[in-house]
Amino acid sequence: MASELLQGRLHPATLITAVLEILRRAAGSVVPILAVAVLGGRGFKGGFSLIVVGLSALGLVASLGFALVRYFTFTYSIDETELQTQEGIWWKHERRIPLARIQDIRLEQNILHRLFKVAALQVETAGGSGAEASLSVISLTDAERLRAYLFAHREVTPAVPAFDLELPPAPATPELVLRAVTLKELMIAGLTQSWLGTAMAGLGGVIFWLREYLPRRAQSSLLRTGAETASGWLSSSGVSLGLGIALIGLLVLLTGMGVSIVRTILLFYGFKLTRTGEDLSRAYGLLNRHVSRLPRRRIQVLEIEQSPLRRFVGVAVLRADTAGSIATHGKESAHNTGRDVLVPLLSRDAVDALLPELLPGLSSESPVWQPISPLAIRREALPGTYLCLILSLGLSLFLSRIVHTPLWPLGLIPLVFLPFLWLASRWSWKQLGWALDGAGVLLRVRRGVLNRSEYLVPLRNLQVIKVRQSPFDRRLGLLSLHVDTAGQTLTGGGPRLDHVPQEEGWRLVRSLAREAQRQRFRWEK
């Protein structure tokens, strides 16, 4: 059989999107400064900003040049064994990726891409710090053809993938919808986000921008008119100053809440998690559409995350650490931990129903949590206790002997923290636990005081187990262990399990390591 060969070039829309992207960046950096320079007149503290403008303009021209070169020289081709890309005039860059090594294929479409019916296709392999190959942008039909081809020629999935951007899906094996997130759920997700942080960050950004770029005179006049309006409004409406401040605070909070909701909806609108054979597919986004696909065995660590607010409502976020990289679009979808969001929000009960779909081989019965010895409370609280004692002793001595003040009992203030410390340690202990699922397929660890997380680590993904014992641990006969998996460097691999009694702990790590040895770790199968 003659080797099939698919090849192609970038879509002409590449140029248009590149130009528009440059204009957008210009609008973000050059234009505001210029506008302020022109409008601000003599008050503008000029020279430095103009240099910045010049440099960014130069940068924009250069990136236009790069885009041109890329468009005219970029070619790709696929045969049965590998994907090849080539680009460059003087520095020719050629890359070959064996099809079997491909971890994850992502399609991304922003509004412009959707207008031109094109998409950016990103191919990822394990270990890279970003997309290994980025076909940005190609026509949607090409993208579809390519994806179908890639999946058809990866021995694991014989199925032609369904792919629901704007083309009708043509699934060969049935596509199971595992989870569709409704608008209501997205609103709850936005509402239960830490919108306080969003509000503060937004406010901080605005203030910083004003201080940085607005002429001094305009700043002070803005401040003055603001203060005058506010005081005029206060005196006329008869609202007290305290209430006024409270109102402003409320306004900021509400804005933050609104922004959080809108952002969540924009990012995750129409979220759908589906499974075709062994592959999981996620599609989401209102303006920018993302479709990505990963084989489910590539899930290295699964995290069920619940903030206090979300625990109160009874919902959770499902995150996954995959062996591919998420560096390119991970920033927006996985804000804090670097773990990719698998499902942005679902009720805690639904998680348990979903787990067997994500981690095949998982038993359906609920885990038997092994409690940790109460010694863990002492272990958790002891270092802080010693610190408090030393601090208050030192402070009291300093106040009475060196400053000679009769107020030396003030030095005992650190002791006030002790009850809280022990209480928090107790909480943390109550939450701490581990369970081995079924026939030793999976290690579950739960931890956290306020933000609680449950981690699920399939033992076949386990790489190294690290056991640490501090002097405190050894005195109490405890140990802490950390399981390491392949995957994101950002997240530090697998979870940590603290303060397990020695005897039990050593037995656990020994059986974990043996079990891991028995279950082969493979990138492909």
Q: Which residues bind another protein (CB under 8 A)?
A: 126-127, 323, 462-471, 474, 482, 484-489, 491-494, 503, 505-507, 509-510, 512-514, 516-517, 520-523
Handedness of CA 326, 329, 331, 337 (dihedral sign): negative
Query: Can you tell me the distance from the alpha carbon of 290 to that of 218, in angstroms, rounded to the nearest whole number?
Result: 43
Is-contact 210 40, C-beta < 8 A? no
Nearer to another protein, 288 or 491 (CB): 491
H or E element in which residue 516 lies: helix 502-518
In the complex, minimum distance from the CB of residue 459 to another protein, in angstroms, rounded to a whole number? 9
In the complex, minimum distance from the CB of residue 425 to another protein, in angstroms, rounded to a whole number? 20
Nearer to another protein, 99 or 181 (CB): 99
C-alpha distances out from residue 483 to 201, 477, 491, Å: 34, 20, 12
Nearer to another protein, 211 or 466 (CB): 466
In the complex, minimum distance from the CB of residue 457 to another protein, in angstroms, rounded to a whole number? 12
Per-position DSSP letters for 345-384, written without gaps between them: EEEHHHHHHHHHHHSTT--SSPP-PEEPPTHHHHHHHHHH
DSSP assignment, residue 79?
-
Q: Residue 68 CA to chain centroid, in angstroms?
A: 32
Report how far apart the first and last C-alpha atoms of the chain are (Å, whole number).
26
Helix (H, G, I), strand (E, B) or coil at 326: coil
C-alpha distances out from residue 187 to 28, 66, 267, 515, Å: 29, 41, 12, 42
Nearer to another protein, 281 or 322 (CB): 322
In the complex, minimum distance from the CB of residue 464 to another protein, in angstroms, rounded to a whole number? 5
In the complex, minimum distance from the CB of residue 330 to another protein, in angstroms, rounded to a whole number? 14
Nearer to another protein, 285 or 494 (CB): 494
Residue 394, both tokens = 């030192």
Nearer to another protein, 30 or 500 (CB): 500
Q: List, in sequence order, the alpha helices (H) in 314-347.
A: 330-333
Strands (E), 219-329: 272-276, 279-284, 289-295, 299-306, 315-322
In the complex, minimum distance from the CB of residue 521 to another protein, in angstroms, rounded to a whole number? 6
Nearer to another protein, 159 or 500 (CB): 500
Q: Characterise 21 by phi-psi region: left (phi > 0), alpha (psi -120 to 50), beta (else).
A: alpha
In the complex, minimum distance from the CB of residue 287 to another protein, in angstroms, rounded to a whole number? 33
In the complex, minimum distance from the CB of residue 98 to another protein, in angstroms, rounded to a whole number? 11
In the complex, minimum distance from the CB of residue 436 to another protein, in angstroms, rounded to a whole number? 15
In the complex, minimum distance from the CB of residue 128 to another protein, in angstroms, rounded to a whole number? 13
Nearer to another protein, 168 or 471 (CB): 471
Torsion angles phi and psi, residue 83, rounded to 5 = -105, 130
Q: Residue 125 CA to chain centroid, in angstroms?
A: 19
Query: Can you tell me the distance from the alpha carbon of 188 to that of 394, in angstroms, rounded to the nearest whole number?
Result: 49
In the complex, minimum distance from the CB of residue 474 to another protein, in angstroms, rounded to a whole number? 7
Nearer to another protein, 276 or 480 (CB): 480
Nearer to another protein, 229 or 489 (CB): 489
In the complex, minimum distance from the CB of residue 494 to another protein, in angstroms, rounded to a whole number? 8
C-alpha distances out from residue 388 to 92, 282, 324, 412, 419, Å: 63, 49, 45, 9, 11
Sheet with 299-306, strands from edge to edge, namely 340-347, 315-322, 299-306, 452-458, 442-447, 433-437, 370-371
Query: Can you tell me the distance from the alpha carbon of 105 to that of 357, in angstroms, rounded to the nearest whole number?
Result: 20
Find, among 385, 58, 133, the residue nearest to 393 by Cα: 385
Nearer to another protein, 118 or 500 (CB): 500
Q: Which residues contact 491 (CB under 8 A, 6 or more apart)?
A: 301, 321, 337, 338, 339
Query: Can you tell me the distance from the alpha carbon of 433 to that of 101, in angstroms, rounded to the nearest whole number?
Result: 36
Nearer to another protein, 357 or 484 (CB): 484
Nearer to another protein, 323 or 345 (CB): 323
CA atoms within 13 A on the CB side of 481: 24
In the complex, minimum distance from the CB of residue 20 to another protein, in angstroms, rounded to a whole number? 37
Is-contact 105 147, C-beta < 8 A? yes
